[in-house]
Every structure is written in C-alpha cells, then in structure tokens.
Structure 1
Amino acid sequence: MADHELLDIYDEQDQHIGVCPRSEVHRVGHWHHTFHCWLVRDTEAGRMLVFQQRQHNKDTFPDLYDITAAGHLLAGETVEQAVRELEEELGVPLRFDQLTPLFITRDGWEFESPSGTLIDREVSSVFGACSPLTLQQYELQADEVAGVFEAPLSQMLEMFHGERASVTATGVYGQPAEAPAGDLPYVHVEVTVEQFVPQSPGYYEKTCTLLQQLSPLE
C-alpha cells in the first residue's frame, strides 16, 4: 500500500531528519522529495505536450490532469533512481541521462481528501524529455493512470498564461482487456486550467516555456 511506503523527510533547510511512512508525512506535513517528468512529442503539426489523467479512485486529486509521470522518492532513493516512474506509470524505459533537468521547486499546501486534511510539502525535481511514442504505445498503470493525452505545447502555454480558456486535447484511456494492443480509440476533450492538479504559481507556464527549448530527440 502506498500509504505505508517509507519516505525520507527533511527540515526547512532541506536537511535530512529521518524516515517516515507516507501517510504520516502527509498528515504531519513533513518536507519530502518528489520527481516530475514531462514528455513532449514532435510532430509535423508541432511539438505536443503529453500529460496523464489521474484515476478516479486516487486519494488526492482524482480525475484531474497531471504531470506526464511523477512520484515520491522512497527512503534511500535518489532522483536518478526515480526515473522508474516513467516505466511504472507509462511503460517508457527512458534512462536518467536521457532526461533534461528543468528546475527544482519547493512548495507546500493543504487540501481535503477522503482520509482527512493532508499537508503536502514537497521539494520537486522537474525534468523534460522528448518521446517518439504515440498515445496508443503507452502502457498505462491501471491503478494510477486513467488515460494519456497530448495537446499543442504552444496552445497549452497560452492557456496556462490565461490567454485562452481551453485547449482541445487528444487522448486514449486505459487498455481494455479485450482491445488489441495499439487499437485503443482516440478521444477528443476540451481541457482547462481548473482540470489540472494545482501547482505553485507559474509552475505550468515555466514548465511549458522550458519544454519549448528542449532539444529534439536524436
């Protein structure tokens, strides 16, 4: 169970102070480290931003759109090892040296969940990478990811800047048992800022701007 995972915890100066179960980390509000990785795909129509939709039964932010792949660093785990999140959630076997570091952000907030008030204080290392995969080629982790979507990166930046109300995204939902691999139907949805997991002010704009500068996949 995720709530029983052990996480390293830190003080206000980001000095390691111990290890704690994930449920306790969020109940008390200990600082901890997380890994964020955003994927983009270059197409004839331009660069696309890839993002996931969280499962409806997630304890935090169910059904909202989110970072392509992300997760907590487990106790003793390095950020280099946290690249495992890409393969676990999406079936993408990228190596850490194929990722481009974008920035580190430090944020804390409180929110209500089915289990009560949670206090989330994270130091997040944010990365980007180009992926050649089409949406149908991702292998979604059934208990974490409901679907995977992509939309023009330039339009997503405009939306996060407040210059447009929504963007049309194309996506696929998780692999039904009876569906042949690579034969999932595409869906088209209108996405808005309010449908994304809340992040610190400027997070999405900064991410999209830096992803525009990412070198194409060689």
Structure 2
Amino acid sequence: MSQELFDIYDDNDRKMGTAPRDEVHAKGYLHHSFHCWIARDTPEGRKILFQKRQDSKDTFPGRYDITAAGHLSAGETVQDAVREVEEELGIPVRMDQLTSLGTIDYYATGTAGGKPFIDREKCFVFGYLLNLPLTAYRLQEEEVAGLYETDLDDAIALFEGSKSVIPAMGIHSITENRVPQIFDTTLSLQQFVPHKSDDYLHVFKELKKL
C-alpha cells in the first residue's frame, strides 16, 4: 500500500516539494497540520474534550491529545482538512462553524514502534463549541482509542501545575455491541502528548471565550 504524501516546507514556510509520511517523520521535515479543539457547556460548566491516540500511531501512541487533528496531505488546504473531525469523531463539521485560534509551531522527538521520529509541524488551530454528549460521537477505531472530557478550568489547572491529576469521563472506541459506555477516570500531565504547556494553555484560555 502506498504511503500518504505530505507537502514539506523550508524554515520560512516555503513549499519545497512532497515526501512520504515515514520519511517526513524520520528526517524531521516541516509539514502542516490541522487541530480542532471541541468544548461544550453543561450545567456544571464548560468542558473540554481530548482524544486518546491509538497504540498503533507512529508518533506518541496511547497519549491524550487534541480532540481531532491530522496532517494535511499533499495538495490539501486547511479548509480541506476539516474532514478530520468527521473521520475521527463521526461528526460532520464545516469550516465556517470553527473559530481560528491561530497557528502553533510544534517540534517533538521520540520513539514509536521501535522507530525514532522527529515531528516538525506548523499547526493551524481551531476551536468549536459543540454541545453534544460523549455518547453522540462515533470514534474511528484505527486512529482513536477513546474520547474524554473534563472541566476546562481543571485542564487549565493541570497545565499550570496547580493540580497533579484531574477527574474525567471517557468512552472507548471499541465497545461491546457498538454501544459506548461512559466511565470515570483521571488524567495526569505525563499522559498527554508533550506539546508546550504554554501552547495548551493558550488554547484552553481561548476556548473559555467561545
């Protein structure tokens, strides 16, 4: 099966060409990605949703991450990439429903599946206030292990360092009889993809304004 191709860029964000996904992550080529953070309002306050990455992912398997996100394939625009939300979460979304939260320059290294990776991205970040319960989502099993929600203020406290763990509710992508069951859990900082804390906090505080 042929690998997905990404557009790659120089340090001034000028397109240099395309490269296969494995090569992009092996050599650390700069590429573009789409991030969509979903929040919802409840009687207890505003919540934020995180996805748990599948253990098969080629970067940061099993970590908690952005609600829905993905790389832009070669030739795609940011507007095209809104497809990631429906692909990963089963919820159709239009770009005009999202609020731009700016861009983030992201750099990380690690090992996944025994292979080292270098991940350099320019991330186009969006927020979406969507008042749906967890059980309304239909998760893409190949990409998403679970979906979790917690109080937005607790998420801010976690990344500011004033709390070491926070309570959350979650659903698994693979469920008995295809019916998602909500369970209680806790989240800690070490379980998240290591984006900069300041980047997480910028997004969380912007989500409070939606």
Shorter-normalised TM-score: what interval? Answer: over 0.9
Q: Kindly provide the amino acid, as one letter, of the partner of residue 23 in structure 1.
A: D
Structure 2 equivalent of residue 29 of structure 1: 28
Q: Kindly provide the amino acid, as one letter, of the partner of residue 204 in structure 1.
A: Y
Structure 2 equivalent of residue 193 of structure 1: 189
Displacement after TM superposition at 1:203 (Å): 1.1
5+ residue gaps in structure 2? none
In the aligned structure 2, how far is the partner of 1:110 from the partner of 1:147?
24
| Post-superposition CA distance 1:93-113 (Å, at most 9, x none) | 110010000020112222122
Structure 1 equivalent of residue 204 of structure 2: 208
Mean Cα deviation higher: 195-204 or 45-54: 195-204
**Runs of 4+ deviating beyond 4 Å:** none
In the aligned structure 2, how far is the partner of 1:179 from the partner of 1:9?
39
Displacement after TM superposition at 1:58 (Å): 2.0
Q: Contact conserved, 1:59 with 1:115, CA < 8 A, in 2?
A: no
Identity %: 45
Give TM-score scaled by structure 1 length. Answer: 0.92
* Match status 1:55 vs 2:54: yes
Q: Contact conserved, 2:33 with 2:71, CA < 8 A, in 1?
A: yes
**Mapping 1:149-164, distance limit 5 Å:** 149-164=148-163
Q: How many residue pairs are counted as aligned between the two chains?
A: 210
> Counterpart of 1:171 in 2: which secondary structure?
strand
Displacement after TM superposition at 1:126 (Å): 0.7
Q: CA RMSD in A?
A: 1.4
Displacement after TM superposition at 1:70 (Å): 0.3
In the aligned structure 1, how far is the partner of 2:66 from the partner of 2:153?
17
| Post-superposition CA distance 1:139-169 (Å, at most 9, x none) | 1001111111100001110111111111100
5+ residue gaps in structure 1? none
> Counterpart of 2:92 in 1: which secondary structure?
coil
Structure 2 equivalent of residue 97 of structure 1: 96
In the aligned structure 1, how far is the partner of 2:131 from the partner of 2:67?
14
